[in-house]
Amino acid sequence: MSRKIVKILAVIFQTLAFLSLAKAQFHIVKLIVLAVFGLGGLVLYQAVASGSPLSHISTAVGKRSISEWSRISRLGSSPSLAHALQLDEKECARLYICEMACSAMLRNADDKLLPSHLRAQSDEDEIALDEFRAAASFGKMHKDVNMCLQRYKKCPFKSVKQMERIIGQYRNL
Protein backbone atom coordinates (compact mmCIF):
# COMPACT_ATOMS: atom_id res chain seq x y z
CA MET A 1 0.00 0.00 0.00
CA SER A 2 1.51 3.30 -1.05
CA ARG A 3 1.98 6.27 1.20
CA LYS A 4 -0.54 8.29 -0.83
CA ILE A 5 -3.28 5.78 -0.10
CA VAL A 6 -2.41 5.78 3.58
CA LYS A 7 -2.52 9.60 3.63
CA ILE A 8 -5.87 9.61 1.81
CA LEU A 9 -7.27 7.10 4.28
CA ALA A 10 -6.02 9.22 7.17
CA VAL A 11 -7.78 12.31 5.77
CA ILE A 12 -10.98 10.31 5.27
CA PHE A 13 -10.82 8.99 8.82
CA GLN A 14 -10.23 12.47 10.23
CA THR A 15 -13.18 13.85 8.26
CA LEU A 16 -15.44 11.03 9.36
CA ALA A 17 -14.33 11.40 12.94
CA PHE A 18 -15.20 15.09 12.78
CA LEU A 19 -18.61 14.27 11.36
CA SER A 20 -19.30 11.73 14.06
CA LEU A 21 -18.25 14.20 16.74
CA ALA A 22 -20.66 16.78 15.31
CA LYS A 23 -23.49 14.67 16.80
CA ALA A 24 -25.10 13.47 13.62
CA GLN A 25 -28.87 13.28 14.05
CA PHE A 26 -29.57 10.55 11.53
CA HIS A 27 -28.85 6.92 12.23
CA ILE A 28 -27.78 6.28 8.66
CA VAL A 29 -24.86 8.71 9.04
CA LYS A 30 -23.78 6.89 12.19
CA LEU A 31 -24.06 3.56 10.39
CA ILE A 32 -21.94 4.81 7.49
CA VAL A 33 -19.32 6.19 9.87
CA LEU A 34 -19.11 2.87 11.72
CA ALA A 35 -18.89 0.93 8.44
CA VAL A 36 -16.11 3.15 7.11
CA PHE A 37 -14.14 2.92 10.37
CA GLY A 38 -14.51 -0.86 10.35
CA LEU A 39 -13.44 -1.13 6.72
CA GLY A 40 -10.58 1.30 7.29
CA GLY A 41 -9.40 -0.74 10.25
CA LEU A 42 -9.35 -3.87 8.09
CA VAL A 43 -7.42 -2.04 5.35
CA LEU A 44 -4.83 -0.77 7.83
CA TYR A 45 -4.56 -4.23 9.41
CA GLN A 46 -3.92 -5.73 5.97
CA ALA A 47 -1.35 -3.01 5.23
CA VAL A 48 0.54 -3.80 8.42
CA ALA A 49 0.41 -7.54 7.75
CA SER A 50 1.59 -7.18 4.14
CA GLY A 51 4.74 -5.27 5.04
CA SER A 52 3.85 -1.73 4.10
CA PRO A 53 5.59 1.29 5.70
CA LEU A 54 3.28 0.85 8.69
CA SER A 55 4.67 -2.61 9.46
CA HIS A 56 7.42 -1.21 11.69
CA ILE A 57 4.73 -0.56 14.31
CA SER A 58 4.01 -4.25 14.76
CA THR A 59 7.69 -5.15 15.04
CA ALA A 60 8.40 -2.54 17.69
CA VAL A 61 5.82 -3.77 20.17
CA GLY A 62 6.78 -6.50 22.62
CA LYS A 63 10.26 -7.26 21.33
CA ARG A 64 13.37 -7.56 23.44
CA SER A 65 16.95 -7.70 22.33
CA ILE A 66 18.90 -10.92 22.70
CA SER A 67 21.24 -9.34 25.23
CA GLU A 68 18.28 -8.50 27.49
CA TRP A 69 17.00 -12.08 27.36
CA SER A 70 20.45 -13.47 28.08
CA ARG A 71 20.76 -11.22 31.12
CA ILE A 72 17.34 -12.33 32.33
CA SER A 73 18.10 -16.01 31.72
CA ARG A 74 21.32 -15.71 33.73
CA LEU A 75 19.21 -15.14 36.80
CA GLY A 76 17.69 -18.60 36.56
CA SER A 77 14.98 -19.63 38.96
CA SER A 78 16.76 -18.61 42.17
CA PRO A 79 18.52 -15.24 42.02
CA SER A 80 21.42 -14.76 44.38
CA LEU A 81 23.59 -11.93 45.62
CA ALA A 82 26.23 -12.87 43.05
CA HIS A 83 23.66 -12.42 40.28
CA ALA A 84 22.60 -9.10 41.76
CA LEU A 85 26.21 -7.92 41.78
CA GLN A 86 26.71 -9.20 38.24
CA LEU A 87 23.68 -7.23 37.04
CA ASP A 88 24.92 -4.11 38.85
CA GLU A 89 27.51 -3.27 36.18
CA LYS A 90 27.02 0.48 36.63
CA GLU A 91 27.26 0.23 40.45
CA CYS A 92 23.84 1.84 40.94
CA ALA A 93 22.79 -0.62 43.66
CA ARG A 94 26.00 0.11 45.56
CA LEU A 95 25.43 3.85 45.14
CA TYR A 96 21.88 3.40 46.44
CA ILE A 97 23.13 1.49 49.51
CA CYS A 98 25.92 4.01 50.13
CA GLU A 99 23.59 7.00 49.88
CA MET A 100 20.99 5.38 52.13
CA ALA A 101 23.71 4.66 54.69
CA CYS A 102 24.61 8.37 54.65
CA SER A 103 21.17 9.40 55.85
CA ALA A 104 20.87 10.16 59.56
CA MET A 105 18.02 7.71 60.07
CA LEU A 106 20.01 4.74 58.76
CA ARG A 107 23.42 5.86 59.97
CA ASN A 108 22.42 5.24 63.58
CA ALA A 109 20.90 1.84 62.83
CA ASP A 110 23.19 -1.16 63.01
CA ASP A 111 22.43 -3.05 59.83
CA LYS A 112 19.04 -1.98 58.55
CA LEU A 113 20.28 -1.92 54.97
CA LEU A 114 22.00 -5.30 55.00
CA PRO A 115 20.73 -7.39 57.90
CA SER A 116 23.28 -9.50 59.73
CA HIS A 117 21.16 -12.62 59.26
CA LEU A 118 21.65 -12.33 55.49
CA ARG A 119 23.87 -15.28 54.64
CA ALA A 120 25.78 -16.04 51.49
CA GLN A 121 24.93 -19.31 49.75
CA SER A 122 28.26 -19.63 47.93
CA ASP A 123 31.71 -18.08 47.69
CA GLU A 124 30.47 -15.78 44.92
CA ASP A 125 27.60 -14.68 47.15
CA GLU A 126 30.07 -13.96 49.95
CA ILE A 127 32.10 -11.72 47.64
CA ALA A 128 28.93 -9.92 46.52
CA LEU A 129 27.75 -9.49 50.10
CA ASP A 130 31.14 -8.00 50.99
CA GLU A 131 30.78 -5.51 48.11
CA PHE A 132 27.35 -4.40 49.29
CA ARG A 133 28.48 -4.20 52.92
CA ALA A 134 31.51 -2.15 51.83
CA ALA A 135 29.15 0.32 50.14
CA ALA A 136 27.09 0.58 53.33
CA SER A 137 30.12 1.08 55.57
CA PHE A 138 31.57 3.67 53.16
CA GLY A 139 28.35 5.67 53.41
CA LYS A 140 28.23 5.37 57.21
CA MET A 141 31.87 6.36 57.53
CA HIS A 142 31.86 9.40 55.21
CA LYS A 143 28.28 10.59 55.88
CA ASP A 144 28.41 12.52 52.60
CA VAL A 145 26.40 11.68 49.51
CA ASN A 146 28.94 13.43 47.28
CA MET A 147 31.61 10.98 48.43
CA CYS A 148 29.30 8.12 47.39
CA LEU A 149 28.80 9.78 44.00
CA GLN A 150 32.56 10.05 43.53
CA ARG A 151 33.17 6.44 44.50
CA TYR A 152 30.36 4.99 42.36
CA LYS A 153 30.59 7.37 39.41
CA LYS A 154 29.71 4.72 36.80
CA CYS A 155 26.06 5.02 37.77
CA PRO A 156 24.26 7.48 35.46
CA PHE A 157 21.81 8.49 38.21
CA LYS A 158 22.90 11.19 40.61
CA SER A 159 20.64 10.51 43.56
CA VAL A 160 18.46 7.93 45.26
CA LYS A 161 15.42 10.11 44.58
CA GLN A 162 16.15 10.08 40.85
CA MET A 163 16.46 6.26 40.87
CA GLU A 164 13.25 5.87 42.87
CA ARG A 165 11.38 8.21 40.52
CA ILE A 166 12.45 6.20 37.46
CA ILE A 167 11.69 2.86 39.13
CA GLY A 168 8.29 4.23 40.15
CA GLN A 169 7.49 5.10 36.55
CA TYR A 170 8.23 1.53 35.43
CA ARG A 171 6.23 0.13 38.33
CA ASN A 172 3.13 1.91 37.04
CA LEU A 173 3.34 0.36 33.56
Q: How confident is the model over 2-30, as pLDDT tens digits?
A: 667 777 776 676 666 655 655 555 555 56
Q: How confident is the model over 145-162, as pLDDT tens digits?
A: 889 989 988 888 777 777
Give the separation between CA 92 and CA 76, rounded to whole angstroms.
Answer: 22
Q: Is the pLDDT of residue 55 over 50?
A: no
pTM above 0.85, yes or no: no
Give the separation between CA 160 and CA 141, rounded to whole angstroms.
Answer: 18
User: What is the identity of the amino acid at 7?
Assistant: K
Q: How confident is the model over 64-103, as pLDDT tens digits?
A: 555 555 555 555 545 677 877 887 888 888 888 888 888 7
Q: Is the pLDDT of residue 58 over 50?
A: no
Residue 99, Ramachandran bin (φ over 0: left; ψ between -120 and 50: alpha; else beta): alpha
CB 44, CB 1: distance < 8 Å: no
Domain parsing of the chain, residue ranges: 3-60, 79-171
Mean pLDDT of the chain: 69
Neighbours of 152 (CB within 10 A): 22
Q: How confident is the model over 103-112, as pLDDT tens digits?
A: 765 555 545 5
Higher pLDDT, 122 or 49: 122
